């Protein structure tokens, strides 16, 4: 078992009053420098905060402008979709009409082909058939 002893020694130094005054002056100067440094740092922080606020405002305006452009683009897209739907409906109607026209022409062609291939002795029947189909 070991025993440890601790000893505290206090040394008191008496200094002349002029040295004490210099120490106080040094502390006051250090405090002044520290206060000036804090004021400088505070000014830097205020400047940075103002710049950040200005940047935030600029970005907010840019975002609002982008949202406005997006709304215009969406409206234009909607109008184009409506127009495309109308054109598709017209195209379907036109395709149906064209298909009916092709069918009618095919029937007329088949009839004309049949007429051309018949013997020439039945001429009055040909005229009646053509007139009956509305081909004359």
Q: Is the pLDDT of residue 136 over 80?
A: no
Q: Per-residue pLDDT averaged across 51-67, rounded?
A: 97
Backbone φ and ψ for 16, nearest 5 degrees, come out as -65, 160
Residues in contact with 127: Cβ distance below 8 Å, sequence separation at least 6, in sequence order: 136
To the question of pTM greater than 0.85 for the whole model, the response is no
User: Residue 9: left (phi > 0), alpha (psi -120 to 50), or beta?
Assistant: beta
Q: Is the pLDDT of residue 134 over 80?
A: no
Contact predicate 115/126, CB 8 Å: yes
Distances in Å between the alpha carbon of 54 and those of 40, 41, 59, 61, 68? Answer: 21, 20, 9, 11, 21
pLDDT digits (tens, 9 = 90+) for 19-39: 555 555 555 667 788 989 999
Most confident of 2-11, 65-74, 121-130: 65-74
Contact predicate 112/135, CB 8 Å: yes
Closest C-alpha to 112, from 97, 100, 129, 98? 129
């Amino acid at each position: 078992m070991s025993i440890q002893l601790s000893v505290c020694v206090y040394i008191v130094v008496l200094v002349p009053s002029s040295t004490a005054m210099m120490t106080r002056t040094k502390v006051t100067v250090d405090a002044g420098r520290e206060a000036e440094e804090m004021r400088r740092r505070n000014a830097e922080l205020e400047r940075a905060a103002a710049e950040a606020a200005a940047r935030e405002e600029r970005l907010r305006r840019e975002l609002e402008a982008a949202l406005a452009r997006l709304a215009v683009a969406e409206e234009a897209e909607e109008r184009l979709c409506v127009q495309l739907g109308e054109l598709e409906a017209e195209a379907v109607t036109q395709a149906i009409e064209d298909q009916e026209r092709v069918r009618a022409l095919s029937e007329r062609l088949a009839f004309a082909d049949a007429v051309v291939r018949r013997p020439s002795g039945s001429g009055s029947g040909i005229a009646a058939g053509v007139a009956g189909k509305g081909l004359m």
